[in-house]
């Protein structure tokens, strides 16, 4: 594939690369055709080998710069810096400068291969989802789909010499993500964007997407895994988490509710995002409007309620997800209201009454489920989520469980909020 040309409107240095309008390279993937074998970076001359895991940030950024050279970027990559605060992948912002001085950024990610075991299937999902979303989003609208940049062989990802898989997206400029909500309007926007996202995936052509992480939101299986890890106590940490273990164990009765309603045919399977935390949607810096739903690794079959539930978990919390002052951890009713209004504005047309009836409960359930996953990971020895300090996962679990308590205490009030909004014409 030849290099795509940059538009003449691309910005000239000096100046921040915030208003660059990207060209949309066409991926050589169509429908469900399996992707071509990604080029191994060892197919290309490399200046130096990949640094091992645990390498200093500068070294990792240097490696990102080397890997960037194998994607179809249109100009040499000159700069790479770690970017964002995701818990799963290694993410870098890569700057490219053309000979004419045009500047453009890309988002380069090393995909977490310990968590995502079938990367070709994962990337096939993402190629299908982004293509479909692009075809459904109004061309004139402000919202856009993520754009995958192929590697030089036309494949949707490349492997480095260690076997790690990397992918590249257009950088969404002039927008950013929020770990902690700043205004209720952001909640409304985020929820409306995820509702729209579910709606536009409703007619994704068959077949079903791959389950990139099997049983991802199967709360019963999450609970059984938790019990098993507690029983094995592989890192000797059970003693340090007694009260959290008791909190979780006491809530076993809640884990089956949505699964049972799904098994009875009352809650339909849909194509859902499954990781709808607030920092997985980009909001425009100037207008505050949702610009792009990102982090598509877990887009797969699921329940609509998983998405609404994770929005409640990540947006209503008045404190950060890992804040240790638990007196600050409360679910804010005005934010819950904004979420319900935003989500129902875009999803009401396809949701069934049983889904609407469980919206308030879903927040409590998913907050519990993610808290349980943080707790399980702490007990297992921090093998899944990235951590920045000892006890980080335990702090997160405590925080999420405090949020569960707050949601439990307001369950009736939140239910009334949903009922009121749903009753409006």
**Where on the chain is the footprint of ligand GN1 (CB under 6 A)?**
86-88, 275, 277, 280, 295, 297-298, 321, 370
Stretch that binds Mg ion, among 78-86, 259-267, 382-390, 408-416 (CB under 5 A): 78-86
Least separation, in Å, of the C-beta of 368 and ligand ADP? 21
- How many residues touch ligand ADP (CB under 6 A)? 18
Window 260-299: contact mask with Mg ion (x via CB under 5 A):
--------------------x--------------x----
Q: Does 280 bind ligand ADP (CB under 6 A)?
A: yes
Q: Does 38 bind Mg ion (CB under 5 A)?
A: no
Judged by CB, which is closer to ligand GN1: 170, or 297? Answer: 297
Q: Does 86 bind Mg ion (CB under 5 A)?
A: yes
Q: Does 116 bind ligand ADP (CB under 6 A)?
A: no
Judged by CB, which is closer to Mg ion: 276, or 376? Answer: 276
Q: Does 164 bind ligand ADP (CB under 6 A)?
A: no
Judged by CB, which is closer to ligand ADP: 84, or 288? Answer: 84
Least separation, in Å, of the C-beta of 400 and ligand GN1? 9
Q: Does 276 bind ligand ADP (CB under 6 A)?
A: no
Tokens standing for residue 171: 């950088």
Q: Which of 22, 74, 86, 195 binds ligand ADP (CB under 6 A)?
A: 86
User: What residues make contact with Mg ion under the rule CB under 5 A?
Assistant: 86, 280, 295
- Chain residues binding ligand ADP by CB under 6 A are 83-84, 86-89, 91, 107, 146, 169, 171-172, 177, 279-280, 294-295, 297
């Amino acid at each position: 594939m030849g290099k795509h040309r940059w538009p003449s409107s691309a910005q000239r240095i000096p100046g921040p690369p915030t208003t660059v309008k990207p060209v949309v390279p066409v991926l050589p993937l169509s429908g469900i055709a399996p992707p071509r074998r990604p080029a191994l970076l060892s197919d290309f001359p490399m200046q130096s080998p990949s640094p091992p895991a645990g390498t200093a940030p500068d070294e990792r950024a240097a490696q990102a710069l080397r890997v960037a050279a194998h994607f179809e970027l249109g100009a040499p990559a000159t700069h790479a810096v770690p970017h964002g605060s995701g818990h799963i992948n290694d993410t870098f912002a890569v700057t490219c400068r053309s000979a004419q001085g045009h500047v453009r950024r890309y988002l380069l990610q090393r995909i977490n291969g310990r968590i995502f075991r079938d990367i070709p299937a994962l990337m096939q999902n993402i190629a299908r989802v982004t293509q479909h979303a692009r075809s459904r989003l109004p061309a004139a609208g402000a919202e856009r789909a993520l754009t995958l940049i192929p590697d030089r062989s036309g494949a949707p990802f490349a492997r480095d010499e260690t076997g790690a898989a990397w992918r590249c997206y257009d950088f969404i400029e002039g927008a950013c993500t929020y770990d902690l909500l700043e205004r209720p309007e952001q909640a409304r926007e985020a929820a409306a964007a995820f509702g729209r996202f579910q709606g536009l995936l409703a007619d994704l052509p068959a077949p079903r997407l791959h389950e990139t992480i099997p049983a991802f939101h199967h709360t019963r299986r999450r609970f059984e895994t938790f019990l098993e890890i507690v029983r094995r106590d592989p890192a000797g940490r059970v003693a340090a988490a007694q009260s959290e273990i008791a909190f979780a164990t006491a809530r076993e009765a809640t884990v089956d509710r949505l699964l049972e309603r799904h098994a009875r045919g009352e809650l339909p399977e849909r194509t859902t995002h499954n990781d709808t935390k607030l920092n997985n949607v980009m909001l425009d810096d100037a207008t505050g409007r949702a610009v792009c739903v990102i982090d598509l690794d877990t887009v797969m079959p699921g329940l609509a309620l998983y998405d609404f539930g994770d929005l409640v978990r990540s947006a209503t919390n008045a404190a950060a997800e890992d804040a240790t002052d638990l007196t600050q951890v409360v679910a804010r009713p005005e934010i819950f209201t904004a979420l319900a209004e935003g989500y129902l504005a875009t999803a009401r047309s396809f949701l069934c009454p049983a889904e609407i009836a469980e919206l308030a409960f879903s927040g409590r359930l998913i907050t519990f489920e993610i808290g349980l996953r943080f707790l399980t990971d702490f007990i297992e020895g921090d093998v899944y989520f990235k951590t920045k300090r000892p006890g980080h996962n335990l702090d997160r679990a405590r925080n999420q469980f405090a949020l569960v308590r707050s949601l439990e205490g307001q369950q009736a009030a939140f239910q009334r909020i949903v009922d009121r909004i749903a009753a409006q014409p």
